[in-house]
Amino acid sequence: MIVAMRQDATPEQIQRVMDRICEAGLRPERMPGGERTAVGIVSAIPAPLRASLTSQLESLPGVDHVTQVSRAYKLASREFHPADTVVQVGEVAIAGPAVVLMAGPCAVESWEQMREAAQAVRAAGGRVLRGGAYKPRTSPYAFQGLEEEGLRILQAVGREVGLATVTEVVDPHEVELVARYADILQLGARNMQNYPLLVAAGKSGRPVLLKRGMSASIDEWLLAAEYVMSAGESRVLLCERGVHPLDRTYTRNTLDLSCLPVLKEITHLPVIVDPSHATGNARLVPAMCRAAVAAGADGLLVEVHPRPHQALCDGQQSLPTESLAGLVAELRRVAEAVGRSL
Amino acid sequence: MIVAMRQDATPEQIQRVMDRICEAGLRPERMPGGERTAVGIVSAIPAPLRASLTSQLESLPGVDHVTQVSRAYKLASREFHPADTVVQVGEVAIAGPAVVLMAGPCAVESWEQMREAAQAVRAAGGRVLRGGAYKPRTSPYAFQGLEEEGLRILQAVGREVGLATVTEVVDPHEVELVARYADILQLGARNMQNYPLLVAAGKSGRPVLLKRGMSASIDEWLLAAEYVMSAGESRVLLCERGVHPLDRTYTRNTLDLSCLPVLKEITHLPVIVDPSHATGNARLVPAMCRAAVAAGADGLLVEVHPRPHQALCDGQQSLPTESLAGLVAELRRVAEAVGRSL
Amino acid sequence: MIVAMRQDATPEQIQRVMDRICEAGLRPERMPGGERTAVGIVSAIPAPLRASLTSQLESLPGVDHVTQVSRAYKLASREFHPADTVVQVGEVAIAGPAVVLMAGPCAVESWEQMREAAQAVRAAGGRVLRGGAYKPRTSPYAFQGLEEEGLRILQAVGREVGLATVTEVVDPHEVELVARYADILQLGARNMQNYPLLVAAGKSGRPVLLKRGMSASIDEWLLAAEYVMSAGESRVLLCERGVHPLDRTYTRNTLDLSCLPVLKEITHLPVIVDPSHATGNARLVPAMCRAAVAAGADGLLVEVHPRPHQALCDGQQSLPTESLAGLVAELRRVAEAVGRSL
Amino acid sequence: MIVAMRQDATPEQIQRVMDRICEAGLRPERMPGGERTAVGIVSAIPAPLRASLTSQLESLPGVDHVTQVSRAYKLASREFHPADTVVQVGEVAIAGPAVVLMAGPCAVESWEQMREAAQAVRAAGGRVLRGGAYKPRTSPYAFQGLEEEGLRILQAVGREVGLATVTEVVDPHEVELVARYADILQLGARNMQNYPLLVAAGKSGRPVLLKRGMSASIDEWLLAAEYVMSAGESRVLLCERGVHPLDRTYTRNTLDLSCLPVLKEITHLPVIVDPSHATGNARLVPAMCRAAVAAGADGLLVEVHPRPHQALCDGQQSLPTESLAGLVAELRRVAEAVGRSL
């Protein structure tokens, strides 16, 4: 429910609306707006309460009208927040005019590997360095990451080379630790509905890159974002990484690029595309990067590795660092064709 | 299996290889190649026969070596036909340097509707006019198309305005009739494994636009193309139109654009993208057109209607004709960014 | 829309209702009912017409009330036909108290193979012999069936041994031919939305076993049944054969047994289960047969072969004929546990 | 890799094999076996090491032969543990001759609700009481459970009435708390690949009921079980609860019963079926319970509620408690038909 105030509503009148909502046991949220203020009700409103609350709010002074909101998510919805959210990470603006390239290895393996990768990313025009320190692996016997040592390398190399950093966190009780090292917290596809983790990340003070679950609908994904946002963090980056495929002969997942124009319509949050995990095949990554930019992606998350065939994790989907500059040149042309830069 | 002949192999030596394959009850196919000839075996080779046949063929004069082929499809495979197939329809070259726009209404409804649509398509730079005369509808009580009268309108309007035409055929025994009117025969997603129809279309003398089935893997799709090709028609256009979606809240299907770089690697056939049926929502079509061109599509199949809200079929996914020119201007920029025209 | 007549309505009053529906350009259908008659409107009713037609029909003499029908399918719906449809094929009643076993090889290969299979089916208590003469195969180079010779063998062996027969038809123009030989026409999963074939089968005078499409929803499946029924044939057997799977490591498809209680609620048609195609693995077939019977299946369609490892088609999913008797003994106990026989 | 010892192998020889494996940096596991001992290597063996290790082990005294193991999971595999695992929870044996009924409300709501439910479960022959205290809900605004108070109610009512208890845990750092109250820890579908949670549960000392993820393949599910087992807990109950469906018109998920015979072949762990979450519709639950028992389920997890229409969570899929006795009578007949009791 959204309570639109009149243009001449006083701060006291707005406060009275907010108080009335609190008295009903619900949570109000002041909503951004150019000419006039509105107040949204974030909580789910029990059906029996709906009609009486609407008429009570409509009768308060300064209220223009009350609108019912159709979607289950509120804070993530464009209905509540019509303007695009631009997430600022240091000097990098995500969802600004420039498409942001985030790149790096699947896993942090060593100082040397990260430095080589970071320098190539920086040289090619990338702005964010990725690298996993805690790797959620399907098998308990696979390499699980360097943990805190990996975080240390990632942070130091990022600062050295001049890149912001993003890395995955998998345990709610490690959020604080990871947030000390990384600029952006990544929540993986397997954890999209790990609610304690979503809540912990939402309280970390860091922007959150939220990957779409393997078989998550768009509404389930936005409700996951809503968990992060209702815990306090409004800077959520949605990251499409492919959904469960029809078959796996040629790709690991099916990249769902039509989510881009859908999301641009219903949410104000930035949308990032990860073609590396979506396809699982480095040869397919350049075409999917071009398509993502053309479809309106605000950023790309791409796996690169100095020596993909020696990677401890996901080598077959990592581009060699030396191919990055050529790819970026291509993507820059596509970005310009759709009115953006890169 | 592919038998690569030596560069100096004589026509008689080549013939002897082909004869030997026929004697084994298998079907040989002469394969295009710049410097030297090869002979492919199109039929499936029974496992017990494989080793002895290989050594027999290797011992024939003029034979350089014999290669095992990994894929179940042959004629559709790049292994058999390394160069891109460019399909010429009148003056239109599909899979040439220009991305080809095919557009028109879902169903042919009237002379007036088709004329308005065709003129808009032509004015915007489209080259092929689409329009259904036989509509396969999920419900037997829905509008099923104008049938032969629809074909007549499509053909006449196409000629009048200067556009090639494409239309769907659903019954093997109507292929001949439809082929008299249309320049390209469309086989729909529901009929991708309708083998009598595939064979009939393959004998029609017309190029065939073969839509991917709702849950068809890429290999099943190429095997369907193989049915058309082994019946005689090498000019098959593969058309991606979305696969079965995770959920249908926002899109009718999931457009699988990663099939584009996959197909470019494994087949020589042109690939067309239909974002209208994939999304089922006209507002999502422009972004998906841009993405398709950026990912390497050779053509687009787009539904447009002079008055979408009055359409007898699929109005919600049809662009209004007046928006076509603006969309094409956008797409032209993307095409140029990836080294093509439109 | 269903027009419920009063118990004392006269034949003339019923006729007048039917005439009024025809005058509106719609198709009436007299509906079975114990105590009183109803008239259904089978065609889709254009929205603008709905309100006025309702009030006109309600004002006619003998009319009790008019009900809106929620489903897109009519003839297949329990709303139109509350009692279970029992399909009689010779002496076999499908959807009667006994669960009906239909079994036989995937493909008719020879007189000997069919005789061995048929005798085992008959001895085990089976009532219907299956065997394909026209095989729709994913690859054009795979064995495609013995065609009319296969039909001849199937019919002769069925009569000899005392079993009704079911076989697939794939081309609308072969329906008449196949209907001369077989007692039940099978329409395969790949052809569930092959509308000319559905219509031709609906006019053949034979009951139709309609397999569910690989990714068909239940409503799409019932609308396919509606095509057959609106063409004239009310004896449609719905056959669940597995839907597109998550992955194919262990099963070819995912058998969707929850469709059984769903279908029993919304349609009056018999439901058959094919665990052989669903699993693609003979070792899994017995457990899935037991589950299907327990969940309420009216029949089973099971592949058996005298020598599965020599089968020309789908050997890995065929039970050896000698295991049939043991399986039937197991299934009989389960059938009795749920109040049926076998 | 499995090292089969000779029947007359001495304890010292077995120890030497285990030591040799440890020296190679790998983890040995003594494997159960009637007549002779075997030693399995649980860790993934680096490819370069495989051949030399095999020949070294084969040359050790007392070794009969070395077998390569095909599956990525080890402890969960029948190759490593040929006999069925029977999980004993108090007096209840899961995967013994009796099928075990686990039932109760979706969420613990009150003492009264739990007592009513528990008495009905006990009276009907159920052995385990379910009830959620921590509810992972798609929306952050939905009821999230009574937390520790819920655990307290569940435990007390279970003891009062004489039922073991199972409840979900969602946070690795709450595992210890939940394990103090509940007899079995449930890990939900959304958390199937929440690896810190799997490891924590594996160290809790409680048996773990592991639900299959929404789009998890059987191998991914068994690898999740492997995480629990390699952390120390061998008593894992696999619980099938439906996979992502084709569409949601009639069911929330698609119950995949064919996983039962597959799992019985490849793993020794008990398999439980949850038809309530799978279908999301109480009317479909009885048929799916019957099918699950017929297909070989070792237990059922069923939602029941004294007043389903007042349930705070998932009311539409909860059976009313008064229907439980009738359902159990039905299921008992099916269980007996397949050689079990209930």
Taking each helix axis from N to C terminus, what angle separates C285-295 and C324-337, rounded to the nearest 10 degrees? 20
- D99 and D300 Cβ atoms separated by less than 8 Å: yes
CB of B78 closer than 8 Å to CB of B268: yes
Nearest CA in chain A to C252: A247
Is D336's pLDDT higher than 70? yes
Mean pLDDT within A190-215? 97
Least confident range of C27-36, C235-244, C313-322:
C27-36
User: In chain A, where does the domain assigned CATH 3.30.70.1140 lie?
Assistant: 2-67
Chain-chain contact of D246 with B244 (C-beta, under 8 angstroms): yes
The DSSP code for A133 is S
**Residue of chain B with shortest Cα separation from D244:** B246
What is the maximum alpha-carbon separation in chain B?
68
pLDDT, position B279: 97
Q: How confident is residue D24, by pLDDT bands cut at 50, 70 and 90?
A: confident
Output the CA–CA distances (angstroms, integers) from residue D168 to A189, A326, D147, D208, D239, in the order listed.
Answer: 21, 50, 10, 10, 13
- For chain A, give every residue range classified as CATH 3.20.20.70: 87-337
Token pair of D303 as six digits: 């939602």
Residue C337, SS3 per DSSP: helix
Residues from chain A that touch D221, judged by Cβ atoms under 8 A, are none
Helix (H, G, I), strand (E, B) or coil at D4: strand
Pairing of strands A128-130, A100-104: parallel
CA B321 remoteness from chain centre: 24
- Cβ contact D247–B246 (<8 Å): no
Give residue-wise pLDDT tens across range A157-180: 999 999 999 999 999 999 999 999
The secondary structure element, H or E, covering residue B121 is helix B111-124
Name the one residue in this structure whose structure tokens are 């894992």.
Answer: D236
Percent of chain A with pLDDT over 90: 76
Instruction: Give domain B87-337's CATH number out of 3.20.20.70, 3.30.70.100, 3.10.180.10, 3.30.465.10.
Output: 3.20.20.70
Cβ–Cβ under 8 Å, residues A245 and A255: no
Record: contact B244-D244, CB cut-off 8 A: no
D194/A140 Cβ within 8 A: no
**Cross-chain CB nearest to B290 (options A216, A266, A338):** A338
Q: Which two tokens stand for residue D160?
A: 């009062």
> Cα torsion for C192, C196, C198, C201, to the nearest 10°?
-140
Look at residues C290, C265, C316 and name the one whose alpha carbon lies nearest to residue C77: C265
DSSP string computed for C173-206: GGHHHHHHH-SEEEE-GGGTT-HHHHHHHHTSSS
Quick check: D70 pLDDT over 80?
no
Mean pLDDT of chain A: 93
Six token digits for residue D81: 């543990």
Q: What is the pTM of this model?
A: 0.91
C33: pLDDT confidence band, cut at 50, 70 and 90?
low
Dump strand ranges (E) for chain A.
2-5, 28-31, 38-41, 63-67, 87-89, 92-94, 100-104, 128-130, 164-168, 184-187, 208-211, 236-240, 271-273, 299-305, 319-320
Q: To the nearest whole angstrom, how far is the Cα of A290 from the nearest Cα of chain B?
A: 5
HEC profile for D57-85? Answer: HHCCCCEEEEECCCCCCCCCECCCCCCCC
Phi, psi angle pair for C249, to nearest 5°: -60, -45
Buried b (16+ CB within 10 A) or exposed e, C10-41: eeebbebbbebbeebebbbbebeeeeebbbbb
Put simply, the answer to whether A247 touches C248 (Cβ < 8 Å) is yes
> Shortest CB distance from A295 goes to which of B215, B250, B290?
B290
DSSP codes joined into one string, D260-278: HHHHHHHB-S-EEE-HHHH
Q: How far is CA D300 from CA C241, D130, D216, in A?
A: 25, 11, 20
User: What tokens does C239 get?
Assistant: 């056959």
Q: Suggest the residue from C75, C141, C177, C229 to mutate for an interface test with chain B (most B CBs closer than 10 A).
A: C141
User: Tens of pLDDT along A304-320?
Assistant: 999 998 888 888 999 99
**Cα separation values, C220 from B134, B192, B233, C186, C214, Å:** 19, 17, 32, 18, 11
Packed helices B324-337 and B111-124: angle between N→C axes, nearest 10 degrees: 40
Rounded mean pLDDT, D21-30: 85
Lowest mean pLDDT among B152-161, B219-228, C13-22, C206-215: C13-22
Q: What is the mean pLDDT of residues D284-297?
A: 98
What lies within 8 Å, CB to CB, of D182 at 6+ separation is D151, D154, D155, D165, D166, D167, D206
* Sign for the pseudo-dihedral over CA of C138, C142, C144, C145: negative
Residue of C nearest to A248 (CA): C247
Query: Which 3 state secondary structure label does DSSP give D147?
Result: coil
Residues of A in contact with B241 (CB under 8 A): none
User: Which residue of chain D has the CA closest to C279?
Assistant: D258
Tokens, residue B22: 């026929």
**Cβ–Cβ gap A220/D141 under 8 Å:** no
CA distance D213 to chain B (A): 15
- Residues C138-154, mean pLDDT to the nearest whole number: 91
Residue B221 tokens read as 């799709």
Q: Answer yes or no: are the C-beta atoms of A272 and A71 closer than 8 Å.
A: no
Q: How far apart are CA B171 and CA B189, in angstroms?
A: 14
Cβ–Cβ of C262/D243 closer than 8 Å? no
- Higher pLDDT, residue D188 or C43: D188
The answer for residues whose C-beta is within 8 angstroms of residue A169's C-beta and 6 or more apart is A134, A175, A178, A179, A185, A186, A187, A197, A201
Q: What is the mean pLDDT of chain C?
A: 93
Q: What pLDDT score was predicted for residue C166? A: 98
Q: In the CATH scheme, what architecture does the domain C2-67 have? A: 2-Layer Sandwich (3.30)
Q: For the residues of A281-320, what is the DSSP string, one character each?
A: -GGGHHHHHHHHHHHT-SEEEEEEESSGGG-SS-GGGPEE
Distance from the Cα of residue D333 to its chain's centroid: 25
Beta strands in A113-228 (DSSP E): 128-130, 164-168, 184-187, 208-211
Instruction: Count the neighbouring beta carbons within 10 Å of the beta carbon of residue B237.
Output: 27
CA–CA distance from D255 to each of A252, B147, C299, D215, D333 (Å)?
Answer: 24, 42, 20, 12, 22
Contact C229, D261 (CB under 8 A): no
The pLDDT value recorded for residue B32 is: 59
Looking at the predicted structure, is the pLDDT value of residue D226 above 90? yes
Q: Which run of H or E residues covers position D20?
A: helix D11-23
Is the model more confident about C112 or about C7?
C112
Asked whether residue D295 carries a pLDDT value surpassing 80, the answer given is yes
pLDDT at D34: 62
Q: What is the mean pLDDT of residues C17-35?
A: 81
Which DSSP helix (H) or strand (E) runs through C299? strand C299-305
Angstrom distance (rounded) from CA D197 to CA A190? 12
Q: Cβ contacts (< 8 Å) between A287 and chain B: which residues? A: 257-258, 260-261, 294-296
Residue B94 and residue B86 in contact, taking contact as beta carbons nearer than 8 Å: yes
Return all residues near A325 (Cβ < 8 A) that are at least 6 apart: A120, A123, A124
> Taking CB atoms and an 8 Å cutoff, what residues of chain A touch D196?
170-171
Of D43, D47, D71, D191, the closest CA to residue A142 belongs to D43
- The whole-angstrom separation of Cα C300 and Cα C275 is 8
Mean per-residue pLDDT, C41-54: 82
* Torsions phi, psi for D41 (to 5 deg): -105, 115
Question: What's the ipTM?
Answer: 0.91
Is A248's CB within 8 Å of C244's CB? no
Neighbours of A295 (CB within 10 A): 29
Q: How many CB atoms lie within 10 A of CB A162?
A: 13
Residues belonging to chain C with any Cβ–Cβ distance to chain B shorter than 8 Å: 42-44, 72-73, 136-142, 170-173, 190-191, 193-197, 213-215, 220, 223, 226-227, 230-231, 244
User: What Rg do the C-alpha atoms of chain D give, in angstroms?
Assistant: 21
Residue B29, amino acid: E
Provide, as residue numbers in chain C, all residues whose Cβ is less than 8 Å from the Cβ of D240. none
* Three-state DSSP state, A200: helix
Could you tell me the two tokens for B26? 């298998």
Nearest to B198 by CA among C201, C252, C133, C144: C144
Strand ranges (E), chain B: 2-5, 28-31, 38-41, 63-67, 87-89, 92-94, 100-104, 128-130, 164-168, 184-187, 208-211, 236-240, 271-273, 299-305, 319-320
pLDDT along chain B (342 residues), means of 10: 88 91 85 74 80 89 85 88 95 97 97 97 98 90 90 98 98 97 98 96 98 96 95 97 94 97 97 97 97 98 94 89 96 98 96
Task: Return the structure tokens found at D203.
Answer: 């160290």
